[in-house]
Amino acid sequence: MFFKENLKMAFDSIFANKMRSFLTMLGIIIGITAVIAILSVGNGAANQLTQTFSDLGSTSITLSAEDETGSQEMITNEDIQLLKETIPEIEYISSDNQTRSELSSDFETRTAVAWYGTPDIQFTNQSMDATVIHGRYFNQNEYDDMKNVTVISEDTARALFNDRTDVVGEMIRLDVNREQLNLQIVGVVAGAFEDLQGTFDLSQMPVMLAVPHTTMSQLSSIPSNINSLTIQVETTDDIEPISNQAVRLLEIRHNSVGENNYTAYNMLQALDQVNNVLSLFINFIAAVAAIALLVGGIGVMNIMLVSVTERTREIGTRKALGATTRTILVQFLMESVILSLIGGIIGLMFGILLANGIASVLGITPDITLGAVGLVILFSSAVGIFFGIYPARKAARLDPIESLRYE
C-alpha cells in the first residue's frame, strides 16, 4: 500500500547520508562481488573442462584388471572376442599399451613410443591417427599368428626414411630393454604432430608405431597377459550400462564375481572428480563470501539501529499522525532491504567486472548465469530483512509520547 512512499523515504534517507550508507554497504558489496566472480569464473572453468573432456573421450571406457595372485590370465583374447560379440554397442575394443623404445631404420635411430594391442588399437588409441594413408593396418590373422608387422605414423616415416612417407614393405628394428624385434611396415597412418609443426623441435619428439600385442610379447619384458582394455562405444549414454555389462561378463568368465578384480573407468568419471574438486573450491569461497555478507548484515543492523535512535522524534510524529506499528515496521524494513539491495547490485557489477578480468587472465569465458543474478537479488534482500527486522521492530514499538519528547 505504502510501497511508493516507503521506497521514496528509503532512498531519501539512504542518500541523505551517502558516505555512511556506502560504508555500511561495503561488507555486502565485497561479499556479493566475491560470490559473483567466483561463481562466474568457476562455472566458466567447469564448462571449459566439460568441453575438453568430452572432446577427449566421453565415448571411451578403460577397463583394467587387478591380478591379485599375479599369475592368472585376467583378460584373454577369447574374452575380447566375446565382449565384442555379446555387446553390440561396442564399436571397437582393444588392449592398449605402450612402452618406451628405440626405433631404427637403415638411416636413422629415434626414441619411440611403441603402442601394442589388438587390431582395433587403430581406433581406440587417442595418440595415433586412425587414417591409413599408405598400405593397411595389421589384421586379426597377423595378430593371432604373432607376425612381425607394424604400422608407423607419417612423421615417423619421414624421420626414419629421409622424408619419405610411402615406406610400406620396409623393415625397421625395435629396441626394448636391449632386446630386438625386426618389423615389417605394413601401413602408414596420418601424422600426429602436424598441429605442432613449427612450435616444437620435432627432431626431439619421440616417433610412434603400433605393433600387435602378441608380437610384442615375444620380448621378455612385455607380459603376454592383457590387463587393460580400451572400449569405444557409440554414444555417451552407453557408457554406464556397457561398463557394468563388460565388467560383469569378465567376472563371470573368470569366476570372480564380487571380488572387484575388474574396474571400468571413463573420462566422464574423471570429469566428475575434477568437478567435485572445483565445487569444493567454489563452496569454500562461497563460505568466505557468506562471512563477508554476515559482517555486512551486522553493519546494516548497526546503522539501522543508529538511524532509529536518530529519528526517534520523527517516528513519534508519524505515530501521532496515524502511522500504525506495522507501517513503521515496513518503512524501516524497506530501508534496510533497499540498503542491502543497492549493495548487492553494486557488488553484482563489480563481480561481473572482476569475473571478466580473472577469466581473461585464465583464458576462459566467464559464465554469468541468470540464476546467479537472481541469487544476488534474493540473498541481499534476505540479508536486509534478516538484519533489518530487529531495528525495524524497535522503531515500530516506540512509545509515541516518549519519542515525541526525545531530544
Partner 1 sequence: MIEIKDIVKIYRTGSETLTALDHVTLTIQEGEFTSIMGPSGSGKSTLMNILGLLDSFDSGKYFLNGKDVSDLTDDERAAIRNKEIGFVFQSFNLMPRMNVLENVQLPLVYAKVPMKERKRRAEEALKRVGLENRMYHKTNEISGGQKQRVAIARAIVNNPSVLMADEPTGNLDSKTTLDILRIFQQLNEEGTTIVMVTHESEMSAYTKRIISFRDGILQSDELQEPKVLPKGGV
| 77-86 and 239-253 helices, crossing angle to 10° | 140
Farthest-apart Cα atoms in the chain, separation = 109
Give the residue with the Cβ less far from partner 1, 158 or 318: 318
DSSP for 220-281, written as a single string:
TTS-SSB-EEEEEESSGGGHHHHHHHHHHHHHHHTT-TTS--EEEEEHHHHHHHHHHHHHHH
Return the DSSP state at 87. Answer: -
| 325-362 and 312-320 helices, crossing angle to 10° | 130
Nearest approach, Cβ of 275 to partner 1 (angstroms)?
51
Q: Is residue 255 within 8 Å of residue 81, measured between CB atoms?
A: no
Give the residue with the Cβ less far from partner 1, 99 or 327: 327
Give the residue with the Cβ less far from partner 1, 3 or 198: 3
Give the residue with the Cβ less far from partner 1, 11 or 123: 11
Nearest approach, Cβ of 26 to partner 1 (angstroms)?
23
Nearest approach, Cβ of 299 to partner 1 (angstroms)?
22
Give the residue with the Cβ less far from partner 1, 27 or 316: 316
Nearest approach, Cβ of 16 to partner 1 (angstroms)?
6
CA angle 108, 110, 114 (to 5 degrees): 125
Number of alpha helices (DSSP H) and beta strands (DSSP E) in the chain: 13, 10
Taking the C-alpha atoms of residue 124 and residue 136, their distance in angstroms, rounded to an integer, is 16
Give the residue with the Cβ less far from partner 1, 24 or 153: 24
Contact positions vs partner 1 (CB under 8 A): 1-2, 4-5, 9, 12-13, 16, 313-314, 316-327, 400-401, 404
Residue 69 class from Cβ within 10 Å (0-12 exposed, 13-18 middle, 19+ buried)?
A: exposed
- Beta bridge partners of residue 101, listed in sequence order: 112
Give the residue with the Cβ less far from partner 1, 5 or 67: 5
Nearest approach, Cβ of 400 to partner 1 (angstroms)?
5
Give the residue with the Cβ less far from partner 1, 213 or 319: 319
Nearest approach, Cβ of 313 to partner 1 (angstroms)?
6
* Nearest alpha carbon to residue 97 among 225, 246, 185, 268: 225
Nearest approach, Cβ of 332 to partner 1 (angstroms)?
15
Nearest approach, Cβ of 391 to partner 1 (angstroms)?
18
CA angle 220, 223, 226 (to 5 degrees): 160
Taking the C-alpha atoms of residue 357 and residue 364, their distance in angstroms, rounded to an integer, is 10
